[in-house]
Structure formats: C-alpha cells, structure tokens
Amino acid sequence: MAAAGNGGPLPMTVGVPGNNPYVITVGAFTDNFTPDDWSDDYITPFSAAGPTLDGFVKPDVIAPGAHMLSTMKQQTHLAMEHPDYVRSGGTHFEMAGTSQGTAVVSGLAALILSNPDNADLTPDQVKYRIMHTSLLWTDPETGDPLYSVWQQGVGRVNAPDAVFTDTLEVSNYGMDILCDLDPESSPTCPEPPHYEGFSYYDPEMGLFYLYDAPETWATGYSTWAGG
C-alpha cells in the first residue's frame, strides 16, 4: 500500500513508492463536508496523478483523504506546529493527504484478511478484490467518467463489496516481481526484464493515451490533456 503523493494535480506527479506497479497506490478525494451526499465530492487538487515514467496507470484507486480526524497528543511536533487543526479539546487532529486515503485502504485490506476464509490470499489477490469492486467516478446523468484513469484509477474504493466478494483473481497479471528484481532468477524471465505500462504521451496532440484502450471507455477516461 502506498500513497500517490500530494504533488497533484498535474500528470506524472505520483511519487516513490507509489510509482511501483506492484503496490496499491491510493489517491484522495473529499466528501466536501457532506458525507451523506456524493454529488459534490471531488478529487482533491493535491492528489497526485499518473502515469508513471514507465507508463503505468496510477493511482490504482481513490479513497477519502480530506479533513480526516485521528487521535494525537497536543505535545507532538505536528500539533504544536499547526494548532489550528487540533480538534476535540486537544485529543484529535485534522489532516488531509493521500497518506490519509492510504490508511483507509490499508484498513480495508485488513478487513478482507480478517475473514478466516481469506487468510491465504496473496497480496495480488487482495489488490484485485479492492480494485475490481471499486466504483468508477462517473457523471450520474450521462454515465461518462468525470476523471481520467490517471486521476482516479478504477475509482473510489467500495468496502462492502471488497470485503464480501469471493473472487480469487489476481492483479498484476503477466508480471513477475522476482524477475523484476533479479532477471536471472528464472529462464522464463522476459527480455528486457523491466516491465512497462500501457500509457503513452502524444506530443503532437498534447494528450496522454492508453494502448489498446477498450472502445467502451469514454474519451475523457482513457485520454487526458493533463488539466
């Protein structure tokens, strides 16, 4: 699990280690202080966007990452440096960032693995469950995606479906982390051993594209001018 980073909203701002294709990279959205109303939610301007230098789509998912509350003692450096964000009489602190969204998804992964039936799931299987059940952010009237794949990944995490699905599919299909780390570990390792993603930039059009993007994807999802 890794945060996308807070250097957004421009393309290719996902930082290390969020640019690692094997991890679950998390961007952030805000509920705009209306938790019961999704219509005014939006991806935060600081949420970093892909693709990575190797062409991988990042972030993988987005999660709540604005005005998040957590316990923090007043004597900590952060609380003393930013007293305006101390809440609940000094027992809690309010923060925003993709790290906060990453904590949400880490909790979701823990919920998935807390089921005894899921104890043997691999990291790739947990990643698949979280991504496969996420909700693509679309316009409720037209059904068109409101953000590109490099901004929202496969969409906002959907905890109930991720926890209760029973799929055993894996993410990172066709990739071998052992070959990536040591190309000589197996005679079946690809040449060259370093994998690349499916994103590319067309300088003439000034757009990011995906190789072989499905025709069912709206233009605004699989192409992006970086705005």
CA dist list (Å): 172 to 76, 144, 181: 40, 26, 15
Backbone angles phi, psi at 202, to 5 degrees: -100, 105
**Four-way CATH pick for 2-172: 3.90.79.10, 3.40.50.200, 3.30.2320.80, 3.40.50.720:** 3.40.50.200
Asked if residue 15 lies in contact with residue 49, where contact means CB atoms within 8 angstroms, the answer is no
Query: Which segments of the chain have a pLDDT < 70?
Result: 192-193, 213-227
In the chain, pLDDT over 90 holds for what percent of residues? Answer: 56
Q: Supply 103's token pair.
A: 């904590």
Tell the residue number behind the tokens 């019961």, with chain if given. Answer: 36
Domain coordinates in residue numbering, the chain:
2-172
Model pLDDT for residues 66-84, shown as the tens digit of each residue: 988 888 888 888 888 888 8
To the nearest whole number, what is the mean pLDDT of the chain? 88
Beta carbons within 8 Å of 202's beta carbon, 6+ residues apart: 208, 209
